[in-house]
Amino acid sequence: MQIEAKNNRQVFLRRLSSNDLDNLIDYLQNLSVETKKRFGPHNFDKQSVIEFYDFNANLGYVAQTVDTKEIIAYSIIKIGYLEHDAIRLQSYGMTLDIITDCTFAPSVADLWQSCGIGNNLFRFILSDLTTMKIERIILWGGVQMDNEIAVNFYRKNGFKTIGQFAYNGDNYDMIYDIPSTLRKASSVGGITI
């Protein structure tokens, strides 16, 4: 799907493919220290990324400039939930499901933040998830309360705060319930890197 960013540049939104590995590593290596600190579903080296996508329940999505083919945003969907977050999430009264839940970790390159890329990529991912049996999106490890830009992004996109916890600072656990009117039955498929 092609969009126009707020800076008038053309951007293509799509699923990550096996041909993206080198571009993705460049993207990850060029994130600022601050962004790297807040985005941590996997290490940023090539072997870690390959191993991460060996597991079929992990889906990657990218935003890429049309003219230079540079990856400017990268998001991950893990079908199911993070085992190490399960007890905390269940303490809020949630019943977790490895088929209908998914876990979401987004990132946007520093120079592209506030250009509408994150919002558009989330809507693209949501559209893709509606073709699967996914009913709920859980934030990957929550969001740090002092990360106001991210907290506002999630709230703007319909995420609800379900609880708080302390880990390297204060954090919110947030979820997004996919409206039943958007969901369509289908199957889940990953990528091979």
Which pLDDT does position 183 carry in this prediction?
66
Which pLDDT does position 65 carry in this prediction?
97
Quote the CA–CA distance of 22 and 121 in Å, as a whole number: 21
Quote the CA–CA distance of 138 and 173 in Å, as a whole number: 8
Which pLDDT does position 128 carry in this prediction?
94
CATH 3.40.630.30 fits 2-177, yes or no: yes
All structural domains of the chain with their residue ranges: 2-177
- pLDDT at residue 37 tops 90: no
pLDDT tens digits for 11-25? Answer: 999 999 989 999 999
SS (H, E, C) the chain: CEEECCCCCEEEEEECCHHHHHHHHHHHHCCCHHHHHHCCCCCCCHHHHHHHHHCCCEEEEEEEECCCCCEEEEEEEEECCCHHHHHHHHCCCCCCCCCCEEEEEEEECHHHCCCCHHHHHHHHHHHHHCCCCCCEEEECCCEECCCHHHHHHHHHCCCEEEEEEECCCEEEEEEEECCCCCCCCCCCCCCCC
Cα 23–Cα 24–Cα 29 angle in degrees, nearest 5: 100
Between 179 and 12, name the one with better pLDDT: 12
- pLDDT at residue 188 tops 70: no
Residue range 50-54: average pLDDT? 87
- pLDDT at residue 190 tops 70: no
Quote the CA–CA distance of 60 and 77 in Å, as a whole number: 6
129: confidence class by pLDDT, cuts 50, 70, 90: very high
Of 38-42, 103-107, 163-167, 187-191, which range is least confident? 187-191
pLDDT tens digits for 81-100? Answer: 999 999 999 999 999 999 99
